[in-house]
Each structure stands twice: as C-alpha cells, then as structure tokens.
Chain A
Amino acid sequence: MTTVTTAHKNAVGTAHTRVEGRDKVTGAARYAGEVPFADLAHGWLVLSTVARGRIREIDTAPVLGLPGVLAVLDHRNAPRVETDYAGLMGSKPDPTCAVFQHDRVPHLGWPVALVVAETSEQAREAAEALVVHYEQEPHDVDFTGEHPDAYALDGHMPAVAEKGDLDAELAASAVVLDAEYTTPEEHHNPMEPHAATARWEDGRLEVVDSNQGATWVVGELASLFSLDPASVRVRSEHVGGGFGSKGVRAHQVAAVMAATVLQRPVRVVLTRRQMFSLAGYRSPTVQRVRLGADAEGRLRALEHRSVSLTSTVHEFVEPSAGVARVMYDADAHHTANRVVRLDVPTPTWMRAPGEAPGSFALEAALDELAEKCGIDPIELRLRNEPDKGPVSGLPFAGRDLPACFREGARRFGWADRDPRPGLRRDGRWLLGTGTAAASFHAGAMPSTATVTAHPDGTFTVRIAAADIGTGARTALTLIAADALRVPPERVRVRIGDSDFGPAMIAGGSMGTRSWAWAVTAAADELRDRLALGTGVPAEGITVRSDTTAAIGALAPAERHSFGAQFAEVAVDVTTGEVRVRRMLGIFAAGRIVNPLTARGQFEGGMVWGISMALHEEAIRDRATGGHVGADLAGYHVATHADVPDIEADWIEDADPRDPVGIKGIGEIGIVGAAAAIANAVWHATGVRHRSLPIRPDRVILAGGPSA
C-alpha cells in the first residue's frame, strides 16, 4: 500500500487542539506521582531547620519503631554518590541533589534524612517525629547590592562585557539616567509538585519522574550512581509545569537510594513547602542602570550591572545584565553580572533567566530616559535599534522589533496617548499605559529522534522530548505530519522516555526548535526511503536522526525572538491596589507551529509578567535564615481575578536561511512584561516604582498626584 500521500495540506500554522487534550480534561493523563506500582513504599524528606552548621546526631531509633516505617536514610547509611562530573548542562551537579553524603548543613531546608514507610501518612508523621540535633553556626542570608564579597561570575554568558569609555561618554551626554532597580526572590511553583518513583527491574533502574528532560535526568542519575546510562530509564510522560525547576533534584536521588536499599519501588514527592528550599528559585537582583544619551535620545553610554546571589555549595548566576548586549548599542557599553554567596539554597533557571529581571530594569530605565528626553518611549527605542549585535558584532538573523512596535501601537491605541503622568481618572482609579521591548535567545541543541513507518500508513515518532505544557507533543505531531506529507491523524508522537535516545530538554525556549529539527530530519529521510516504493515490512521502517552536525554547521549570528509589550493599569493610590486592565504583546518569534497553543504560551508569559510586577516575592527571615509564608497563601502568584483580557499576537518572522525557522516561544512572553506594567504605573501615578513587586504598601507610601 501507499504510505505517502501527495495531496497534502500543511498542518503547521493552523490551530490544532492538543493531541493529549482529552486525557487532560478527563483526568486520564497520568503524572509522575500517579503511575501505579505494586508494593510501593513512600519516602518523606526531612529538611534542616538551621541555616548553617553540622548535624550532630539524628535520633533514628524511635522513628524506626513507628508504625509502617521501613527505613531512615541519612548521611551515615545512605549509598555514596559521585559528583565529580559534568552533566548535560555542562557543569557539575548542584550538591543539593547529592543528598546524605556528609554532615554539613549549608542552608535551611537542606535534606538531612529520608523516612520511608508503607503509607504516605506514616512516612509524613515519622518524618515530622524525627529529631535531628545540630551544631548551629552563625549564618548570613542578607542580600544587598553592596555586599563586599560579590564577584563576577560567568554563567551561560561571560560575566563582563565592556567597550568604550563609560565615564567620558556619560560626561558628554546631554541626558543621563542613573537608577537602581531591585527584584525579589521568585519561585517557579509549577502546579505539579516534584515527584519521582524509583525501582529496580531486571537489573535496570527505572524512574518515573516529573521533569523537563528525560535525557538530562537519566544522565545525572547514571553519573551520580556510577551506572551505565543504558541501565537507567527515566520516563516523564505528562509534566505539570516546570519553568526551569524540574531537573535533577533531591527527591529523585533520595528515591533511587531508598529503592536500592529496600529493593522495592519508592516514591518521593516534595510538599509545596519543601519546594521552596529544594526546587530552585530565581535569585533576587539589585541592578544599577546608567544611560547617557544625546539630545535626540541616541544612546552614547549604557551601563547595566547586576548582583544576584547563590549558595555556598554551588555557583549559579542570574545574568540580568545580558539583555542589554542584544537590545541596545552605545559607544560605551558596559555590562556585568556578579554574585554573592550566602547561606541559602542554590537558585536556578527560571522562565527567562536573566532576561526577566534584566528587562525590568533596562526597559524601565529606557522609559525614564524617554521621559527625561521628552521623546515617546517607542520612538526612543526605534532610534536605538542596532544593526548588528552590540557586543558580538554579529548580524541579526531577523530583528523586526520596529514592526512589533508599529503593529502593537496601532492595536493598543498608543497614538492617542498623552505622555504626561497622573492625569487620567476613572472613579477612584488613576489610569496609565506603558510599553517595553522584549527579546529572547533562539538557540538549538543536538537531539536525536526516530520516525517509524508502519504498514497501515501510520507513523510513530519517538523523541525524548518533554511537554511541560508548551504543547510540544502536538507541535511535533504537526511538524512530523508536514514532513511526511500526511495528515496529523496518521502520526503518533511518543515523548518523555530516555530510551528514545538523547534529546534537548524543555528549556531555554530551545525545546521545540531542537526537537522539530531532529524530527524533520528523520521524517525527511524516511520519506525519501518510502519514495523508493519497496513497501513497508511488518516491523516497519525506522529512521534515526541526529542533529549534532547540522547544528554545528549553523552560521554564527544573533538569533533571537523579539516583542513589544503594552499594558494599561489602574492604580488606587489611597489603598495601594494596582490592577492591570489590559495587555497586548506583539511578537516576532519565527515560524508559529500551532497558533492555538502558541497564543497560550505568549499569554502565559505575560501573566507571569503581571505576577512578577505585582505579586511574587519570597520573604526570607534574617533571624532563622528561612522563609516566612513558604506556601501558596504566603507566596502570591496571579490568580484569575488578576488577569484581564490579554491579547498576544505575532507578525511574520521568516528566516529562509534557517533550516527549521522555529524560534521557541516559552520565555519571550514574560520579558519586558513587568517593565510595561511598571511604566504604566508611573504613567498613572507619576511615581516610579523601581522595586518589584509593586505591593500595596509601597504604592501607599509612595503616594501619587492627588495624595
């Protein structure tokens, strides 16, 4: 029979509901903690209650006598793990995941033991009953921009980039802005808590997990436990959100240890409260921005310096100053990311790491400069559009930010805006509008995929991709269908299994771009083979692809998506309440695979912008070194009532030189969104809020035009 249809309508670019949608709305979709295992035991982590010191004693005996308790693992009896290796992300693992290896406590909430019991109720009670004695040492959790120990740290970009004479250009500038911006500690808080079940089966370690990349986690677990990677399998079919937090964490490692010791399946699920110290987070930042411009608003000097924090056991930098290296050029252009090490958990990637806090500072500073120059904020940005990478000097592989602003301004009604602040009222509310620019890197990482043709004319795609809510499973179905020139109904896409071979994680807005590349390559080759017309045997015809060489051959360029964010806010300065009334985002983000799910990705990012601008903040208590209110009642994320009609749309952004044309859209939606809101709050009230979140107390104390 024929397996290749010639009359084919493109699936990519038209709206498709999710292929797993029915499972998600009926409750049939199983997440990591929901896959049944016979003889399952439950592990519960015990976390340190001091911020620095060492474990003196753990009173294990009484707990072992409690009903149902099977084991207590701690640094004295837990299996040893290896941490001297570089994982998929190119660095050594955060020792936080190498649990129970020594008696040191480097932060509050450090895992000190795992209690395993027959039921989760028994495990929880036993974990709470476990008495741990500490030798406490003085801790330092006090983050300030002036910390004397701050040092420059490379992350996924060089720490420092400098060109030109900053002081000279500032001195020669007609208009100078010098302002400090701060953002707080923010937590991913995916709705599904981290969960893993580990078991040994026929000499293989199997872990059912909630993660952003089976390849990533399988590699880390194999390295940590010194296992042949082929003898470890990680499955992660449905993932309830990740946002950067779902890599290898303490719970998977603890589950593997317990399953090894007990030789039965063990599940470890983090509680919401435990996630605040074990799942990573976005570091707070203190950022200083200095801008110098000529009378027409053209930048002569740009300085962006950011300080973030990391733990004493692992280096991680929130590279907030990096965004200026893409967005704006100046004769003197200085950017630097520094960190200070404190007695806190290690922060990690969180949706648009660097860009999210960095764009708040830089895009708010641009707005302040526009005010000082008496130039419309959009016009100011257009006057500073660079024609090549400001730091790299490389050409842009597409940069249509002006078109985003033009289209956004038209739809938002920007032309009618009176730039003066504090003038518009609707009852008790002061109204204002604001805008900001957005950009996010469009990268790709090597991946492998297989595509199998079956005799019945259907196809199966296998790739260790993760769908953490992005719609990747559906997007890859459409992509494979187009490459094979068949309707999407004839394509099954299977993801979330490390046995499918190495693939990129769902992260850095690189997942769909990287996976689509591999799927297309395999599908193209398969189509060529089927075109020979030799027929499909019962076992099917399978083609495997590996994009390592193709990605390596990509010409160097500045590859990014861009966007223009618009917000209208209402502020009651007498009560401090701020409400976002509408938002619009227009993006140039490459080829949009599935408009239905893509809109949700952009809008979701913008909702994060609202949440970041107005709500999110984890509060650390100086005395204990731990959080106060580490739960979803104390840590506010935006809920339904905070989110107005949001409109997200995109413009044509094709790059004929790019083999896939997809740029990735998971992160760009948050970039600039908080700045647009903060700029709108200024336009409403005449007051600049340079510290996030813009809480009621801050608004009340800052006052407004009528206060």
Chain B
Amino acid sequence: MALSTSSVITLKINGEKYTLPVDHRTTLLDALRERLDLTGTKKGCDQGQCGACTVLLDGRRTVACLQLAVAAEGREITTVEGVADGEQLHPVQQAFLDLDGYQCGYCTPGQICSAIGVIQEHAAGWPSAVTDDIRPEAGPPPLTADEIRERMSGNLCRCGAYVSIVEAVARAAEAGTDTSTAAAARISPEAAAEEAVA
C-alpha cells in the first residue's frame, strides 16, 4: 500500500494551535514562512549552516530548516514573534535594539532565539567548548564574552555585528539572572538538581 505523502497536522506555535495539511517535505521553516505567514523566522541557507532559522522547540534552540514540519507535531514551538510579552519586548530583543546588535536584520531573529537558548542553557549549568573545567564539580562557568561567542557561533552574521551582539547577549543575561533559574529547571531538571546539591 502506498503511504500518503502528506498529512494534516496541528502545530503549537507561540501558544496557538494551527491545523494545516502539509506535504511531508515541508520543513518547519517553510511551514512557518510559506503557510502560516510567520515570516520572522529567516531562511539563510536552508542547510543548518547559518542559524538564521533558529526557533525554540520545547524550549530548546534548534534550526527550523532541518526540522520537518510533520515531525514537529506535538511539540511547543516558539518563534521570534512569540518571545515578547505583549508589547513588552523580551530582554534579549530590547538589548539588541538598544545596543544595535544587528545591521541588515536578517540573522537577527535567529540570533535572538539562539541567545534566549544560550542564556537558559548556561543557567542550567551546561558547559561549552571553551569552558576550562567541564567537570560538574567545577560549577557553571561565568558567562564571559568568550563563552557567549562560542555558544552563539551557530549564528552567522555577515554584516559582522558580532561585537554588538555579544554585548547585547551579555546585557540580557545580566538582566535576566533572576528569572533564568526556573527556565533552567525546565530545560534540564537533571543539571538543575546537580546545581542544587553542588
């Protein structure tokens, strides 16, 4: 029996449910941009090589271009359109705006979603490739400029706004320290528990 090559799916995006038929080939990125008119998520390479399409999937940053829409059914999707609290910009958005953490703006939604993920991952105690001592006993590394740079390296900015982006992420991370613990527990209960006993 030939399997169907399309399905009717329901996607949960920014707290809303969208039901739509999709060709199985449709990526989450194309579903957002071409089917749901959520064009904030950008297509820079369509191959997982630039980070412009970064969204949060079940709270974690991922690239939407390599995520099939049909496989995203049942998961919580957050795009750049959904990170602000109504008219109140997310601290990361505000910092990008205030510190000019962009130029052409095309990589910006991806940088912002990625930065939100970075701040949560860091708060959960995740190490990075530039963390000197990754043993859990060493505790979480301070979120230095070098740590931010490494963690944000999956987001290319061809305009070269990196200096301002790193400043913006650092400012937002400082501003969000109070709220990040809960977010950390959400993405990594195990690491959070580890922190609690450490």
Contact = CB atoms under 8 A, between A and B. Distances in A.
Touch test A–B (CB under 8 Å): yes
Interface of A: 17-18, 20-31, 33-34, 36, 119-122, 125, 188-193, 238-241, 243, 269, 271-272, 468-471, 596-597, 599-601, 603-608, 611, 631-633, 637-641, 643, 645-646
Given A26-B84, A240-B105, A641 B149 contact: yes
B71 interface: no
Given A33-B33, A192-B106, 7 more contacts: A25-B109, A192-B104, A238-B104, A471-B103, A639-B156, A640-B149, A643-B160
Interface of B: 23, 25-26, 30, 33-34, 37-47, 49-50, 52, 79-81, 84, 89, 93-94, 96-98, 100, 102-109, 112, 130, 145, 148-150, 152-166
B104 A25 contact: no
Contacts of A120: 30, 34
Given A191-B156, A238-B105, A645-B145, A272 B100 contact: no
Contact of A26 (B43, B89, B157): B89
Contacts of A243: 158
Contact of B156 (A27, A30, A637): A637
Contacts of B97: 17-18, 21-22, 25
B47 A633 contact: yes
A212 B47 CA distance: 26
Pairs A-B, 3 closest by C-beta atoms: A27-B40, A240-B106, A607-B160
A637 B158 contact: yes
Contacts of A30: 39
Contacts of B47: 272, 631-633
A640 B152 contact: yes
A646 B163 contact: yes
Given A121-B25, A240-B42, A600-B103, A605 B152 contact: no
Nearest to B148: A640
Contacts of B163: 603, 643, 645-646
Contacts of A637: 156, 158
A245 to B, nearest CB: 11
A218 to B, nearest CB: 21
26 contacts: A22-B89, A24-B108, A25-B94, A31-B39, A191-B50, A191-B52, A191-B107, A191-B157, A191-B159, A192-B106, A193-B43, A240-B104, A240-B107, A241-B103, A272-B50, A471-B103, A599-B164, A600-B103, A600-B164, A631-B49, A632-B45, A632-B47, A641-B130, A643-B163, A645-B145, A645-B163
Nearest to B154: A639
A673 to B, nearest CB: 11
Contacts of B45: 272, 631-632
B160 A596 contact: no
A315 to B, nearest CB: 27
B109 A190 contact: no
Contacts of A631: 45, 47, 49
Nearest to A602: B160
Contacts of B49: 272, 631-633
Contact of A641 (B37, B39, B79, B153): B153
Nearest to A601: B103
Contact of A24 (B79, B105, B148, B150): B105
Nearest to A607: B160
A611 B160 CA distance: 10
Contacts of B23: 119, 121-122
Contact of A605 (B37, B93, B102, B160): B160
B100 to A, nearest CB: 5
B106 A640 contact: no
B89 A191 contact: no
A190 B158 contact: yes
A272 B152 CA distance: 21
Contacts of A597: 100, 103
Given A190-B106, A468-B104, A600 B159 contact: yes
Contacts of B157: 191, 640
A597 B160 CA distance: 12
Contacts of A608: 160
A137 to B, nearest CB: 32
Contacts of B39: 27, 30-31, 34
Contacts of A607: 160, 162
